[in-house]
A and B are shown apart, each in its own frame.
Chain A
Amino acid sequence: MYMIQAMNLSKKFNDNNVLKNLNINVKKGEVLVIIGPSGSGKSTFLRCLNNLEKIDQGNIVIENEILDIKDKKNIIKLTTKMGMVFQNFNLFPHMTVMENIIQAPITVKKENKEEVLKRAEILLEKVGLKDKKDSYPSKLSGGQKQRVAIARALAMNPDIMLFDEPTSALDPELVGEVLNVMKDLAKEGMTMIVVTHEMGFAKEVADRVIFMEDGNVVEEGKPEVIFSSPQQLRTKAFLKKVI
């Protein structure tokens, strides 16, 4: 069963074709890692999936339901099945860690506050930040912020997690703690799409790796194949530069 089917996606920024008839499907429980040079459209693809960018053409199907970008209810219903983690965390600075996590379930899903609080405690434990629940984001390191952002996304009980270069803004020594949380998620069977430059993570965790360039998929396959014997010249050239 496919969790996400992206069919013939096209997206233009002014005259720049960022996505060109892109087709990517993701199965339940699959961890898909997308690599590629900057400007290849990989982040735009993620942002189109949860409607942060509007697609110009094509269809996005989430759990067998077509995303209708004209229907606000449908957008919220389908996009909240996906949790999004941003490169720059985008935590709400005027809220404590705990408030950041519980706000959306309470406001968007109208959930009972007591239950959300319980779930948030468990999530904070999971990302190793139970002692920080009353801190404001400004008091956290980058790695801690990103782990809170992951907990915040998970609090909505998403079926799919989208990671948009989650470690690119972090100091090198803080990357590991975020990747570890992501590895745990993958082990639990979460369906994940990860745009990243962390090739080690891709090798270790990905079920499938896609190399994107110029708005399209150049090559895809199991990580051991992509990284050890890529078929396409462009993939080889890219991997040579980054590894």
Chain B
Amino acid sequence: MDTNIILNTLPILLKGSLITLQLTVLTIIIGSTLGIILALLKISENKIVYSLASLYTWIFRGTPLLLQLFFLYYGLPLVGIKMTPFQAALIGLSLNCGAYMAEIIRGGIISIDKGQFEAAKALGFNYIQTMKKIILPQTFRRIIPPIGNEFITILKETSIVSSITMVELMRAAQQMYSTTFKPIEIFLSAGCIYLAMTTIFTCIFSVVEKQVAKYE
């Protein structure tokens, strides 16, 4: 083990991990928003709306993320839509994340007792008010564990965008490896950084879980 290599490459890896974090956080924000909308469309009684949302989740859960990224980054320029690696990575990850989040959120919504919808209706809440004030807050409490899982998966999956030339932690590590030929030091460091980030995520989630559990 060459500790000098580790110390010399660490700043570059840390810089890459900032991009990883940025991608993860933005993906979570966009993907979750998309997920909520898709989930609401999927529980709609309108068959067309339901079918469109289902088609979306079917495609994005049914094909590999790598393929989706290649399609966005290498395919779309041929029809005149050009994107930077960051844009393609963010859009690809968000669209993919949205499909998974939609399923998690939909599952959460349909697990809420029917009596909650009825009480809201009897008090005069309209659909949007019912969802916003009554159903979704309870849904989020229930889906925190699977969402925590999903977010950690996203953090790790950002490594896939290294394949469309996006320089994040994984690609930074690959580049350092190909200049130093020290795979053990480099990938061990990168692995530790990933572990540190996922650990922080896990801790945040257990705090959130305890916070919202106060009414139980």
Given contacts A93-B138, A93-B215, A136-B215, whether A108 and B118 have CB atoms under 8 Å apart is no
B137 CB contacts on chain A under 8 angstroms: 94
Q: Say yes or no: A94 contacts B215, CB within 8 Å.
A: yes
Decide yes or no whether B11 CB sits under 8 A from chain A.
no
The binding surface of chain A is classed by DSSP as loop
A109 to B126, CA, bound (A): 11
Q: Say yes or no: B138 contacts A80, CB within 8 Å.
A: no
Decide yes or no whether B123 CB sits under 8 A from chain A.
yes
Q: Say yes or no: A138 contacts B215, CB within 8 Å.
A: yes
A72 CB contacts on chain B under 8 angstroms: 126
A120 to B124, CA, bound (A): 18
Given contacts A103-B133, A107-B133, A136-B215, whether A92 and B116 have CB atoms under 8 Å apart is yes
Given contacts A76-B126, A108-B123, whether A52 and B118 have CB atoms under 8 Å apart is yes
Residue-by-residue, is B113-149 near A (CB-CB < 8 Å gives 1, otherwise 0)? 1011011011111100100011001100100000000
Q: Say yes or no: A80 contacts B115, CB within 8 Å.
A: no
Q: Say yes or no: B115 contacts A88, CB within 8 Å.
A: yes
Interchain Cβ contacts within 8 Å, total number: 65
Decide yes or no whether B45 CB sits under 8 A from chain A.
no
Determine the interface band of chain A, counting residues with CB < 8 A from chain B.
Answer: 20 to 34
Decide yes or no whether B2 CB sits under 8 A from chain A.
no
Residue-by-residue, is B181-205 near A (CB-CB < 8 Å gives 1, otherwise 0)? 0000000000000000000000000
Query: Closest residue of chain B to A100, judged by CB?
Result: B119
Decide yes or no whether A211 CB sits under 8 A from chain B.
no
Chain B residues with a Cβ under 8 A of chain A: 113, 115-116, 118-119, 121-126, 129, 133-134, 137-138, 141, 214-216
